[in-house]
Structure 1
Amino acid sequence: MQASNCIREACFNTCCSPPLLHTSPPPSSDFASAIASSLHPNTVFTNPESLPPPGELLSALTAAVPTYSNSPGAARARVSLDYVGHGLFSHAQADAHERFFDFSYGGAETALHAAAKWRVMRYMNLSEEDYMLVLTANQSSAFSLLAQSYPFESRQSLVTVYDHDSEALKPMTDAAGKCGGLYQSATFSWPGLRIISKKLRKVLTTKNRGLFAFPLQSKVSGARYSYQWMNLARENGWHVLLDASALAAKEMETLGLSLFHPDFIICSFFKIFGENPSGFCCLAVKKSSASILKLPSTNMGIVNLVPETNSTINDEVIEFGGLDEADELGLVRISGRVRCLVNWVVHALQKLRHPGEGGLALVEVYGPGVRVDRGGAVAFNVCDWKGERVEPGLVQKLADRSNISLGVGFLSNIWFGDERRKKTKTKTKRRSGVGVVTASLGMLSDFEDVYRLWAFVARFLDADFVEKEKWRYTALNQTTVEV
């Protein structure tokens, strides 16, 4: 009863996952102060050579935020998991230096497939009495399968909550459009990327109902959203699709599915050891909602997991060491680590400024600032000394040379306000939004990862950094300068 009351009173613009955690995080104001105190509070950094050493800053962080733990358990797990993905499978793959599974389309269910489905259901806290599960080749396949099956002919409205362009979502928006459906998206304020609540609430309380596609967290900006949006949609007759693909290992335990019971859930397991296939996606369907679905025109994308042909791993044994490692680390420790690291790097990026009197900020961070409830992703742009943004793709390529994995994305569905909208139209003729660099943190990210990211971005304080990189590229006898 207490958890239910807490959720009922939750703010629409914040994620109410903390009441569902075993322990509550510290208040946002105290947490922000602690993060600020861990990185030379009265100092800005204008020279990449002036950054304090990582050991000093790690000691300062652990002193300011005692709950942070650079756990040796996480370090051990790094050898057995891809620390960006969910890491479903075991370190036996790494030991054997081989692929662990392959796909087949059709055929009898293998023991490997059955065991994987069981482990996924357990991970997602789903009961086999309530949900059925299919595995697909990727996230786009899962969205496409549901799009083909959902009765958009009779329930024509599709509403989504994404602050970025999503290729995976496109099959669903196309399917709704072919049926003459009405597609609408939530809009987000600039630059914090909060849901504009009044507009979304109005959409969900109209008579035109259908499917509400809702992620608890943006995989680009790290913004988190309240569970109550699912509740509001359900109360007004919508079917609810929960997109849990952006959630990291163990965060599934905070979903409170026993309270909300979404009709459909999509969850992605990607970047597992091996080459193609590098992972798979899951579509869970609540059995009481299955009757509304029609048979899809094709089963394209539905897969059966089979042992890789040359694998020495027996089909009869499946060991899921990845999530077992996560179980050992524990929810509180994992969520606390990611919370500290992502907020530290957000704060650190904002302390980089171009040299000179009144020097401009080097980095623009979009989405939540230092907040106890932000997710493990950061969207940002690097700006030169004139305030012009460096092309995100260029930042990504230069990061690759330093063995730092960054992504690029496009923030969309944004309400800039009148002045900002006019300025943006002059710069972006074809599309309304902002291209960004993205960084994602997972359960096995550590302080070294975020420090290396910060130190890399700081190199742009040198006005000649890009030109020097071009010269270095050609000096290595490369014939093409891709930057």
Structure 2
Amino acid sequence: MGNHHSSSLDAHHHHSRSTAKLLGCTSADAFEIHLDVPHDHDHESTTAASDHDEKRSFDPPPLYAYSASAFPEYQLTWILDALRRSDFSRLDRSGETYVDYMGGSLYPESLIRSKLSSACANEAREAVLSFFRAPPGYTVVFTANATGALKLVGESFPFSEPVATCLAILHRNRPKNRHASPSLFALTGQSNISNSKNSLSLIKYAASQGFHTVLDAAAVAPTSVFSLSETPVDAMAISFYKMFDFLAKLERPWFAGGTVDVVQAPGNIVTMTSEMHERFEDGTINYLNLPAITDGLRFLSAYLPFLPLRLSCLMHHLLGSLTALQHDTTGTPIVRILSRTPLRRLRAVGEQSDTGSVVSLIFLFPSGEMVPNTFIEYAAARSSISLRTGCMCNPGGAASILGLRDAMAALPSDVTLAAFEKHMGHELGVVRISLGLASDFRDVYRVVRFAETIGCKGARDALWEQWLGSKAGEAM
């Protein structure tokens, strides 16, 4: 149940425009939406035509009239249209549809510059604290990734005995009094595969029961407003690979270069450095890249308040369109949505969604059997669509939404993925579509048209033969 990313930036990129003409079994008129999609003859364009393409990316976005009528609140997020034209116009110039924001966000073009400063590390730390409205007492530690941040907390927490931190047994295992053994409660803010958001009230409740708290905000922070002043936690891992933590309470069982003040050699005396963040950053951090954090957070602060409303519009349109699609031969559904869907539609800037902006699904043959994810990945890349397939580094979440819990319980200790998939009779994993900062109705439209292609027998059969041919070539 590994992870795979479809991207048009591969050996098949030069085919993407010809396959785009095959999208859908019906004409664009049937959708009452018109989208300008490049065709093969664009390769014969002159320099003037190229200049026209450049200008076209700054024209009013296609589908805007549709979005204004069906989702009038979408117009309140016009600032994100300006952002798309100024900082992400490369998507429209290249015809790329990027829907893998949960895997990694795209860089804004305005941030690609160099800035060297002896104070850049401190500026980056201050920017992180300011972005999350952290009250005094918080410290920022830079780690390789969010996993490393959580690992640091788990390994450094002063457990004196095994302590369960499962949600289901929170009440039963709560500390009896302030003198009880330290207990840690960990919560995932949002699932990267099921699209569920956990209530942050659980953090407050756990703290009231004497637990120390850690929040994995890697999935929720990029698209939701979060304040440490309103919801204080002892530690938080965030998606751009930094961590806030209760360092004074942690007792790291080892030290490395730069984390100590004095080391007795030979001997056993070790005095840790007085700077809290330096105690947990091994060696020299990559300070040359830290200005990107400072500038990036300032950049995101201007747009993040508008993002939940826009994503709400896009998610409702995407989910409604996908669930309505049917195979042209049988009238059966083309996709099955597995992730949680939003219960309410946002109407104003400042409102927060009850879910994320992730759609996990599987594609179905007319018979109802699952279409291999590797085929979907191939077909998406041929249509210049970047999405993700697999278990999303979340095998527990994938097993849950795919209904594999009983099968997982029966696995032998020496199981392999190939053997597991053979036993199940199909590939394991999901197709994940995730929206983000630069997403607009064009991206959703292209994803829906791609899905319709899978439901069109002629187009699907043609892509299937090409896919089989590519697999045979790899085998040779």
TM-score (norm 2): 0.64
The one of 56, 70, 87 aligned to 1:77: 87
Contact 2:328–2:457 under 8 Å retained in 1? no
The one of 203, 217, 232 aligned to 1:244: 217
RMSD after superposition: 4.2
Structure 1 residue 226 corresponds to structure 2 residue 207: no
Secondary structure of the residue aligned to 2:243 is strand
CA apart distance, 1:371: 2.7
1:157 is matched with which residue?
Answer: 163
Give the counterpart letter for 2:66 in structure 1.
A
CA displacement, residues 42-63 of structure 1 (integer Å, 9 cap, x when unaligned): xxx9945554435685433321
Give the counterpart letter for 2:335 in structure 1.
V
The one of 68, 73, 77 aligned to 2:74: 68
Contact 1:350–1:364 under 8 Å retained in 2? yes
CA apart distance, 1:471: 4.1
CA apart distance, 1:140: 2.3
- Is the alpha carbon distance of 1:293 and 1:396 closer, same or farther for their aligned partners in structure 2, counting shifts above 3 Å? farther
1:34 is matched with which residue?
Answer: none
Contact 2:337–2:360 under 8 Å retained in 1? yes
1:215 is matched with which residue?
Answer: 188
Unaligned runs of at least 5 residues, structure 1? 1-44, 102-108, 160-183, 187-198, 270-280, 309-314
2:261 is matched with which residue?
Answer: none
CA displacement, residues 93-141 of structure 1 (integer Å, 9 cap, x when unaligned): 2xx6xx889xxxxxxx9422222222122212223x2211110122222
Distance 2:164 2:333 in 1: 39
Contact 1:378–1:438 under 8 Å retained in 2? yes
Distance 2:314 2:142 in 1: 32
Equivalenced residue count is: 362
CA apart distance, 1:206: 8.2
- Is the alpha carbon distance of 1:285 and 1:360 closer, same or farther for their aligned partners in structure 2, counting shifts above 3 Å? same
Contact 1:378–1:440 under 8 Å retained in 2? yes
The one of 419, 436, 445 aligned to 1:442: 436
The one of 145, 151, 155 aligned to 1:148: 155
CA apart distance, 1:465: 4.3
Distance 1:418 1:460 in 2: 24
Contact 1:381–1:436 under 8 Å retained in 2? yes
CA apart distance, 1:79: 5.4
CA displacement, residues 242-277 of structure 1 (integer Å, 9 cap, x when unaligned): 1111125462x3x342233111000122xxxxxxxx
2:274 is matched with which residue?
Answer: none
Contact 2:88–2:108 under 8 Å retained in 1? no
Contact 2:141–2:281 under 8 Å retained in 1? no
2:277 is matched with which residue?
Answer: none
2:381 is matched with which residue?
Answer: 400
Distance 1:473 1:417 in 2: 25
CA apart distance, 1:338: 1.1
2:33 is matched with which residue?
Answer: 53
Distance 1:118 1:90 in 2: 23
CA apart distance, 1:157: 2.4
Give the counterpart letter for 1:53 in structure 2.
I
- Is the alpha carbon distance of 1:420 and 1:478 closer, same or farther for their aligned partners in structure 2, counting shifts above 3 Å? closer
CA displacement, residues 401-440 of structure 1 (integer Å, 9 cap, x when unaligned): 322221124363666899995899899759xx96211111
The one of 472, 477, 480 aligned to 2:473: 480
Contact 2:213–2:234 under 8 Å retained in 1? yes
2:340 is matched with which residue?
Answer: 368
Contact 1:46–1:352 under 8 Å retained in 2? no
Distance 1:400 1:100 in 2: 35
Distance 1:394 1:370 in 2: 28
1:192 is matched with which residue?
Answer: none
Unaligned runs of at least 5 residues, structure 2? 1-22, 36-61, 92-97, 257-279, 345-353, 412-419
Map 1:46-445 → 2, pairs under 5 A: 47=25, 49=27, 50-54=30-34, 58-69=64-75, 70-71=78-79, 72-75=81-84, 76-78=86-88, 84=101, 85=104, 91-93=110-112, 110-127=118-135, 129-152=136-159, 154-159=160-165, 184=166, 199=168, 210-249=183-222, 251=224, 253=225, 255-269=226-240, 281-286=241-246, 290-296=248-254, 304-307=285-288, 320-329=294-303, 331=305, 333-356=306-329, 359-372=331-344, 373-410=354-391, 412=396, 435-445=429-439
Q: Which entry has the higher C-alpha Rg, 1 or 2?
A: 2
Contact 2:362–2:370 under 8 Å retained in 1? yes
Give the counterpart letter for 1:399 in structure 2.
A
Contact 2:327–2:333 under 8 Å retained in 1? yes
Distance 1:472 1:352 in 2: 24
- Is the alpha carbon distance of 1:466 and 1:65 closer, same or farther for their aligned partners in structure 2, counting shifts above 3 Å? closer
